[in-house]
Amino acid sequence: MESWLLKQVNEVSSRLPADSFKGLSVLVTGGAGFLGSWMCDALIELGAEVVCLDNLSTGRVGNVEHLMGREGFRFVREDVSTWKPDKSFDVIIHGASIPSPDDYVRRPVETMMPNSLGLLNMLENARKTDASVLYTSTSEVYGDAEVIPTPEEYWGNVNPVGVRSCYDESKRFGEALCMAYHRQYGVDVRIARIFNTYGPRLDPEARYARVIPRFIMQALRGEPLTIHGDGKQTRSFCYVTDMVEALLKMAVLDS
């Protein structure tokens, strides 16, 4: 890993409680993706034993290649919907997803699987082994929000049959499934609604490159910045290390 990336990972680790993950067995689904790979990095530095599960439908081996061979790290190329773990975990971080509209409009069925069958698979494992589950949900559960800024208590304004519903509705179902397992079986679940995360490993050349890397690349090339509409739109952005710190705290802290 590049030294400046390692420095950022170490900064995340330093802001978490000492020994918070030391010796814990942690499964990160979607671990070779943009956000998942950063969580794998931080967890290894925190002394966790990490299994990185990814079928590489959107993730890249290059995101975790530097961890190959590290003590406590194992990469498994499998689909979260069908994979049967050969061990138990203390913490399951379920990040497997297809988050790009370009991808999920082309692959709607595949998009729904990680947040339904895949999450069910992880919750069943957690129920049988007493693991805790952190589910990475999305701001898209609010749909085309009619309340801005949007409070967490807002139930949303979602089109259940629209072209984006494969992502929006599967994430909403995932949240409901988490709470059903919590209420019926007592599974320790935590739900994070992620907005717009940016930082290294986010592919600026992807067809659905998020606005910050796209603006940066256009500026570096001397191209006009692409603005849609009147340019008065607002967005909530979070740098990747801040997001990872928040997610890991959610995964391990009681309050």
The catalytic position among 104, 135, 142, 167 is 167
CA distance 255 to 253: 6
CA distance 9 to 191: 23
The answer to whether residue 154 is catalytic is no
Contact 13, 46 (CB under 8 A): yes
CA distance 129 to 90: 8
Instruction: Provide the 8-state DSSP code for 143.
Output: B
Q: Which ranges constitute the DSSP H helices of the chain? A: 3-14, 34-45, 101-106, 108-113, 119-129, 165-185, 211-220, 240-252
CA distance 88 to 25: 8
Positions marked catalytic: 167
